[in-house]
Amino acid sequence: MSREDAVKAFPYDVDEKERSTTARIHTEYLLSTSAVNALTSKFMEIFNSNLDQQDALVEGTEVDLYDWLWRQVFRASTTALCGSKLLEMYPDFGVEYQIWEENMLGMLFGTPRLFARQAYAARDSTVRKLERWLEEGYRHSPANGEDLDWEPYFGAKVVRKRHEFYKQQGLSIHAQAGFDLIFLAGILSNATPATGWLLLHLLSPTSPEGFRGQVMDELRSAQRGDGSVDIPALTRLPLLNSAFQEVLRLYVDLLVVRQVDNSTSLGSHSVRQGEQIMAPSWMTHRNPDFFDRPNEFQPDRFLKRNAEALKGRFFPFGGGHYQCPGRIFARQEVLGTIAVLLLNFDIDFVSFVDRGSGTKAPGTASFPTLRRNYAGNQVVGIDGDMRVRIRRKTKPAN
């Protein structure tokens, strides 16, 4: 966005009691129980509907698991958040979005356009599409849409409230599109790879013996009689949630940044007022003084640790007032996706896949690795994939 729009978008003088702010919007529409449950319910509805429309899953088909999963979650999340019109207008929106997302940090750190032409072109194209989507939505979105949990032009309440904030601050349509793009990335760029890592570990022959079977027993206990999933029950399943926490410990690379208000000393280091300090989760989460065999995936690790023991040692969503506002929805989205796939489909390991060459590695020697990226990219991307055969389970006769 332009410098002028940036000043409007990030004001220092907003009266929080009188006017809207993004922090207030996120607190009310991403962190409240009713809002998160409505968003999760819409995501699950769309996710299930998309799977139901894939005829190949009835007979069974082979897919590269994470590549396939990314597309399913992207469509469901984007539609739940932004409404159905965006992807109806631009069915290929996810292709360019993924290119931009994978290169976002490099662009943030100032990689010149000359050395990242594809990434900049993808960003510019997605912003233009979002501009046209916004213009279309403002023409057609119902005036009483705020009373709805979801509507097709602008989706969830949190997005519609953000649009009210844009108008309040007088942002140009170009700046609004950029703001919506980075908001979408904040929701998608962490939950999707977290789902992928957890699913890969659940299905991998390299994982601890009995891990998948124990999780399946837990998932069945959260399945209702009609086959749907009880999301609140999912969030209470001990091993599943421990494994999710272990994924965050092992794969989150977060830099918690704070500005120093008063000069002070941290051990032998002096920091001055106005300077910034960073607390990297990667070093803390993999510190052998805090976590036994820290580079190993141990799905039951968090069954043995209480909250007090983890204080200051585990902060995958940041800390204090500035924790990620989408953390509750992300957790429900990840667990809900895992539950739907494992309860409704037979998924069998075929082989690991090298992402670069597309070759299948024999045996169990090539579990996907971390994608190379800049420090601080939150949930680290997946380099490699897993070839699986997936087939919808036959429903028992009444």
255 membership: H or E segment, kind and range: strand 255-259
In the structure encoding, which two tokens stand for residue 234, read together?
């999912």
CA separation for the pair 292, 289 (Å, rounded) = 7
DSSP 8-state code for residue 262? S
CA separation for the pair 226, 22 (Å, rounded) = 38
The response to whether 324 counts as a known ligand-binding position is: yes
Contact by Cβ (8 Å): 130, 123: no
CA distances from 309 to 105, 293, 302, 304, 314 (A): 33, 17, 11, 10, 9
Determine the length of the chain: 398
The per-residue b/e assignment along 248-276, b for 16 or more CB within 10 angstroms, e otherwise, is bbbbbbbebeeeeeeeeeeeeeeeeeeee
Q: How buried is residue 115: exposed, middle or buried, by Cβ count under 10 Å (0-12/13-18/19+)?
A: exposed
The per-residue b/e assignment along 102-112, b for 16 or more CB within 10 angstroms, e otherwise, is bbbbeeeeeee
Residue numbers belonging to the annotated binding site for heme: 324
